[in-house]
Amino acid sequence: MPSTTASQLAVPTLHRAARIEDALHQLVERRLRRTGWQPNIVAYAGYGAPGWARVLCRVLLSRPDRRQGRLEKVRGWRSFTTLPAKHVEVTIEAGDGVHTARADRSGFVDTVVKADFNPGWASVRLRVADAEPVEALVRVIDPEVRLGILSDIDDTVMVTALPRPMLAAWNTFVLDEHARTAVPGMAVLYERLVTAHPGSPVFYLSTGAWNVAPTLTRFLSRHLYPAGPLLLTDWGPTADRWFRSGREHKRATLARLATEFPDVRWLLIGDDGQHDQEIYREFAVAHPENVAGVAIRRLSPTQSVLAGSLPVPNDRPSSAGPVGQKWLSAPDGAGLWKLLRDAGLV
């Protein structure tokens, strides 16, 4: 009977869907590379503190003559027709140090590097093979900051009518990005919050895929939301299941932020159309010292039906939070601002 080595035991078995996806990607990648396609980096905004930074990017195959920074309208489906460059080594220049990281099977790099950063916005330089280096922004949080703002995206800052399957598919794969609409008053609310709390970071946490990060970034900028890192998730099969778990992604991200910034109390902003209230309540129970309050955008009856939930009467709050914590609910940014101000959170 042949012996089994420790290294063999350490190799995980990929889910069948992931193996099929990898085989298809490998076939297409070989053909594209023969026609001159090369790895290029798509940089995402990361975050950190003086001394370290979480760097996020994705390595994709693209044509050598690919034009950068085009401002033409983008259909959602184009974001999902990219091909990852698997297991490519990426060089990260941060401060005076040089670090290396390797992309995973989906082309993602998610790593923490050590370097001296000043609070505010900083940048690191990313390079792969012979491609031009790209700059990745990093939001460096001052150790003195005690309040952070963490916001959902779908139906909280942007009307998406998720998760009803047909509308979700239309909004994601067909709808032009310029046709997406912002939730009334939310951009003004966030701007007032960061003005009232100088230095407070804004994070955008969503179950959306990294494929749409450039689209979301442009949307937030166009509608004057404060700049901040996007915390998204992978698209398609994972190593152990057919599809990613959006809820687990949000739970894990919140727990990570509580560990990385133990002195920061978060104002959690979401809506009552999906699972934000449940996830925020769990986090508030597990980490009460890290929650300043919860602000829930209450959907209209029509929006609630489209989002797959039951309408909540307007004469009562949409949720009751843990004892001693401030849970607020209103249909738009103006209403939430008034409640936050009355509660002493601004």
Structure confidence by residue, pLDDT tens digits, 196-251: 999 999 999 998 888 888 889 999 999 999 999 999 987 665 555 545 667 899 99
Contacts of 10 (CB under 8 A, 6+ apart): none
For residue 249, give the 3-state DSSP assignment.
helix
pLDDT at position 210 is 87
Nearest to 294, CA basis, from 151, 197, 154, 189:
151
- Residue 289's pLDDT is 95
For the stretch 94-131, pLDDT in tens is: 999 999 999 988 889 999 999 999 999 999 999 998 78
Q: Which fold has domain 147-342?
A: Rossmann fold (3.40.50)
Structural domain boundaries in the chain: 13-29+36-140, 147-342
Could you tell me which of 300, 250, 248, 230 has the C-alpha nearest to residue 271?
A: 300
Q: How far apart are the first and last CA of the chain?
A: 69
Q: Do β-strands 134-140 and 38-49 pair in parallel, antiparallel, or remain unpaired?
A: parallel
DSSP strand pairing (51-62 vs 38-49): antiparallel
Architecture of the CATH domain 13-29+36-140: Sandwich (2.60)
The whole-model pTM stands at: 0.81
Any residues with CB less than 8 A from the CB of 288 and at least 6 apart, and which?
322, 324, 325
**Does the structure show a pLDDT above 80 at 81?**
no
- Give yes or no for a contact between 285 and 316, defined as CB atoms under 8 angstroms apart: no
